[in-house]
Structure 1
């Protein structure tokens, strides 16, 4: 098709292009659920996701184009940006709460809500894209991933753990997470880091073509494992902040 402009951002789905005011994505096994979810979100008045507009002549999904930019790499985010993503996530979860799509689970989770799957406008997170892994789940599954990819980092140039923990509290405050759930958030972060390492490692034994080459896959496995080690080592700092207590000095 003429006038197709390749789009980057998400790391999993190749072949995503912009055509006029629409985005075309290769269909996958998850496409029917994703399409129903996006239509449901539109009916609920949730504007932080693209609209699903059907399929084109070659079977690709047609989505509305969301103006803005997608950050390809993780970085340090400001408190207002983290608060904005927390509020946006609460709206996403609330739009699916009690729906037939959630089934017996509390909400439908995005399951991959990193900055690389978030559209920014004027520096503010305004929408989520790439709902390929969306499925019924518990809010903490998503919030654990959000807290990790938006607030927590093992990189030497990242802020200290006590500063990261304060930003995790900005996220939970903006989301409106209750005190009982806050106590489980550190475990949710650790679980998502471990699951991410296992997910990437499993692709090393899958047939070609894969979502990335072996070197890229191992980089993401090792990164996830480093992040897990860092979070576990500073667990008391994050837990204390979420409980509203001063962080243990020896853990910083």
Structure 2
């Protein structure tokens, strides 16, 4: 059964309770990462089950809903995503794969890569990094929108705080969160509103 929605790896299919996808340059790292996460008891990611005779990766299938498009999310959904990200980072903190960096980052923890809201999928861009790389990206994709129908900036800013609180972000890192988010897409028009919400 073809699975749609992916931007990086074409031809992803479901076979029974598994997902099959073409191997990429990142496959070895992802396999090691998923194995490490399993050993650490992190359940918010698929298991890597090896390769099939066609050379495709075999991953466990995670049942649930993965949204097809970006939209507004409730505070509980944002909080669940923040908690999930923290658990993922903690499972990789000071690990061999993180190397000299604090954690391994997913680098694309948007709603489109989340089985709501219990697991992340599509670890193609995972690599060692700083937690704010993921958290800034998550603030942008989960909390902030420039659409005419989007909630007011004050409401969006409050939701960024929900995310930071759920993640357990310390005070020093909060002062850098909006800078991290700006590296992705946010414009500075409402910068004071967002900074004030995190104080």
**TM-score range normalised by the length of the shorter chain:** over 0.9
Structure-2 residue corresponding to 1:30:
26
* 1:176 correspondence with 2:189: no
Deviates more, 1:58-67 or 1:5-14: 5-14
**1:61 Cα deviation after fit:** 0.3
Q: Is the 8 A contact 1:111 1:133 kept in 2?
A: yes
> Partners in 2 of 1:192 and 1:153 — Cα distance?
12
Q: What does residue 86 of structure 2 align with?
A: 90
Measured in 2, the distance between the counterparts of 1:184 and 1:10 equals 30
1:190-205 residue pairs with structure 2 within 5 A? 190-193=182-185
Report deviation, 1:115. Answer: 0.6
Is the partner of 1:183 in helix, strand or coil? helix
1 or 2, which has the higher helix percentage?
1
Deviation sequence 1:160-214 (CA, Å, 0-9, x none): 0000000000000000000100000000001123xxxxxxxxxxxxxxxxxxxxx
Take 1:136 and 1:168, find their aligned partners in 2: how far apart are those partners? 24
Q: Alignment length, in residue pairs?
A: 199
Runs of 5+ consecutive residues of structure 1 not aligned to the other structure: 194-227, 244-252
1:69 deviates by: 1.6
Q: Is the partner of 1:18 in helix, strand or coil?
A: strand
Larger Rg over CA atoms: 1
Distance in 2, matches of 1:16 and 1:160, equals 38
Quick check: 1:242 aligned with 2:193?
Answer: no
CA distance in 1, matches of 2:7, 2:165: 29
- d(CA) in 1 for partners of 2:16, 2:3: 13
Shift of 1:56: 0.6
Partner of 1:41: 37
Runs of 4+ deviating beyond 4 Å: none
Q: Which residue of 1 aligns with 2:123?
A: 131
Mapping of 1:1-252 within 5 angstroms?
5-120=1-116, 125-193=117-185, 228-229=186-187, 232-243=188-199
Shift of 1:12: 2.3
The CA distance in 2 between the partners of 1:192 and 1:40, in whole Å, is: 28
RMSD: 0.7
- How far 1:10 moved relative to its partner? 2.9
2-side partners of 1:24 and 1:97: how far apart? 29
TM-score, length-scaled by structure 2: 0.98
Instruction: Give the deviation of 1:72 after TM superposition.
Output: 1.3
